[in-house]
Each structure stands twice: as structure tokens, then as C-alpha cells.
Amino acid sequence: MKSDIHSLRERSLLKLVAAAALILLILILVPSLVGTYQMQLLIYGLVTAIAALGFNLLLGYTGLLSFGHSAYFGIGAYTVALVVQHLGPHSMEIYILIGIPTVAIVSALFGYICVRHTQIFFGILTLAISQVVYSLVLKLYWVTGGSDGLRVPRPSLLLGLLSFSGPRGFQQFVTSYYYYVLAIFVVCVIFMWVIVNSPFGKTLQAIRDNEIRARFLGIRIRRFRWISFLISGTFTGLAGILWVPLNGLTTPDVLYWTFSGEIVFTALLGGFRNFTGPIVGGMVFTYLRTYAVATTEYWQLLLGVVLVTLVLVLPTGIVGALAKVGQSLKGKS
């Protein structure tokens, strides 16, 4: 009996790894097939997926809906911009090495305040804090550039091994940066997958399902929520760090609450009850948004319609719906 369960698990794990490897192979081969613009979109997709993956540790696994994750994305982006401006190095590794601890500290601080509450109160607190950050960045223009934002020039990659200048510099940068972000994305996915399947991750899910019972298992609820918030914010902040060199500029838009809304949207779109939901959501959302913006100036209306349809027809998101279809097919055969 016990070994049956074991082999069943091993087999499903094997399947998972095989599927992931296949997708990774496609993602590795894509640049040789598409142009620079498509590659840029893919990078944005991967970055959004990292942000949503972080966000979903809170929503899907801890049961806390944050309306303020733009703060961490934005702080990641602005940290990079300020490093460029005041310290000067144009190295992606330095951006990451300075950016991650900064975002982690800010997440820890804000998280400490926010996890004292749950449900709508938590949501409102996260929203309020992110709006404070937004206002500060907007008003402190001598530091942040105000609504003009701050420019971030193309950095070198791999400790200056790869630098990009000249007429084809941008194309070369995009291609290399694609692989760079892809590598970080893979690390993030593995990292997050281990976390949600670790005793810590299971404990978060227990807290999500039943807070009172979790407390009576001797679990210190608030501490777990806080650590979850910290990891979540740091992931989303890393997404901001990776986003800004490609965008070349950061403006207060990435701190505004509508951007937090987009992160929530992304998770809902993919399905927040599945591990892969936010990843699929991040990719699909990036394309959806890009083409919606290109087709109509009422693109937000279009996204709104998608959101309403999603909530009414596919409450479990794309991945949840696919999983259901897969299961019913399996049941029939």
C-alpha cells in the first residue's frame, strides 16, 4: 500500500518534470524562430509570471489577497534606477544583488504591519501602503524624477562579460537578456515549487484552510504569514528588477494601484489554486494586454470583459479549467 502511493507520487513527479522540460526546450528554441519584438514580449511574459508566482504564494497558498503588490515590483524597479543614478555600475548582477535585499527588507517591514489583519482588512492595508509609496515617489521628484520617472540604461550581463553597444546592441541585448531572464525564471519556479511543497508550504495551506485549527496545532500563524509575505514581496520585487532594464525607464505607473490590480488579474486568469496558474496567467496576460492596447483604446474595457467572463465561467482560471477537462477525459478513457 505504502509503496503504491510512493510509486504513484514518483510517477506523477516524473510526468511533471517531463512536461516542464518540454516547455523549457520550446522556450530555449523560440529566439531562433521569432523576431526581437516577440522576444521582448516573451521577456515581459516571464517577468510577469515571476511577479504573479510571488503574489500567488500569498493568495493561493496563504489565503491573503494583496492589493498592493505594485509596491514591491516598483521598489525593485526604482532600486535599480537609483543604483544606476547614484552608484553608477551598469551590471545586472549588481542590480540584483542590491535590489533583492532592498525589496526583502521593505517586504518584511510592510508585511509585518499587514499580516496583523486578514481578509479585506489585509487587502486594504496593502493597498494603502502601496498608495503611500506611489505618492512619495510621485512627490519626491528630486530623488525619483516624479512623473517623468528614471532612466535605466542597458546593463552588461554576467559581470560585464556581455555588454551591448553599437547599432545592433539592442537586438543582441534582447536575445541575451531573454536567456538571462529565462534562467532566473527557471530558478524561481523551482524555488517556489520546493517552498509550496515543503513543510512550510503545507503549513501555509493549512493556515489558509483553517486558521483556528492551525493555531491548535501549535503553529504561530502570524509568523508564517509574515514569512510568506516576505517571500512573496521579494519575488515580485525581483520581477521589477528584471523588468526595468528592458523597459529602459521606470515611472510611478508601476507603483499605482491599477498595476496591483493587473497582478491580481494575472493570478485569476491563470488560476490561483494551481501552481502553474500564475505562470500561464503571466504569459497570457502579457499578450492579451499588448494586443488589446494595440487594437483598441478601450483596452481596459476589453480586459474587464475578460475578467467578468473569467469569474463567471472559469472561476479556477485557465489552468484549473484545463485540469478539469484533462480529468474528465481521463475518466472517460
Partner 1 sequence: MILLETVNLRKQFGDTRACDGINFVVNEGEFLSLVGSNGAGKTTLVNLISAHLQPDSGQILLAGRDITFMPVADRIKAGIARSFQIVNLFDGLSVFDNVALSIFSREGKAVKMASLAEHDYEVRRETVEVLGEFGLSSKTEIPAGGLAQGERKLLDVAVAYALRPRLLFLDEPTSGVSTHEKAQIMDTVSSVVRGGHVTAVVIEHDMDVVFRYSDRIVMMHEGSFLADGTPDEIRANKDVASILLGAPLAT
Q: Which stretch binds partner 1 (CB under 8 A): 139-147, 198-206, 234-242, 287-295?
A: 198-206
- Is-contact 79 98, C-beta < 8 A? yes
- Is-contact 208 69, C-beta < 8 A? no
- Provide, rounded to whole angstroms, the least separation between the CB of residue 149 and partner 1: 36
- Of 195 and 246, nearer to partner 1 (C-beta) is 195
- Provide, rounded to whole angstroms, the least separation between the CB of residue 227 and partner 1: 8
Cell numbers placing 274? 494551481
Interatomic CA distance for residues 232 and 228, integer angstroms: 6
Question: Taking CB under 8 A as the rule, does residue 15 contact partner 1?
Answer: no
- Provide, rounded to whole angstroms, the least separation between the CB of residue 118 and partner 1: 16
Between the alpha carbon of residue 49 and those of residues 172, 179, 182, the distances in Å are 23, 15, 11
Q: Which of 130, 28, 25, 58 is nearest to 278 (CA)?
A: 58
- Is-contact 123 62, C-beta < 8 A? no
- Is-contact 54 236, C-beta < 8 A? yes
Q: Which stretch binds partner 1 (CB under 8 A): 24-32, 97-105, 152-160, 195-203?
A: 195-203
Question: Taking CB under 8 A as the rule, does residue 216 contact partner 1?
Answer: yes
Q: Which stretch binds partner 1 (CB under 8 A): 71-79, 211-219, 260-268, 282-290?
A: 211-219
Angle at 245 between CA 239 and CA 250, to 5 degrees: 80
By CB under 8 A, name the one of 11, 139, 202, 324 that touches partner 1.
Answer: 202
- Provide, rounded to whole angstroms, the least separation between the CB of residue 235 and partner 1: 13
Question: Taking CB under 8 A as the rule, does residue 215 contact partner 1?
Answer: yes
Question: Taking CB under 8 A as the rule, does residue 324 contact partner 1?
Answer: no
Write the burial class of residue 219 (CB in 10 Å: 0-12 exposed, 13-18 middle, 19+ buried): middle
State the residue for C-alpha cell 552608484.
Answer: 87
- Provide, rounded to whole angstroms, the least separation between the CB of residue 62 and partner 1: 12
Q: Which stretch binds partner 1 (CB under 8 A): 41-49, 85-93, 207-215, 240-248?
A: 207-215
User: CB neighbours of 234 closer than 8 A, spacing ≥ 6?
Assistant: 54, 72, 100, 103, 104, 107
Question: Taking CB under 8 A as the rule, does residue 187 contact partner 1?
Answer: no
Cell numbers placing 264? 491580481
Question: Taking CB under 8 A as the rule, does residue 272 contact partner 1?
Answer: no
Residues making contact with partner 1 (CB under 8 A): 1-2, 5, 8-9, 194-195, 197-203, 205-206, 208-210, 212-220, 224, 227
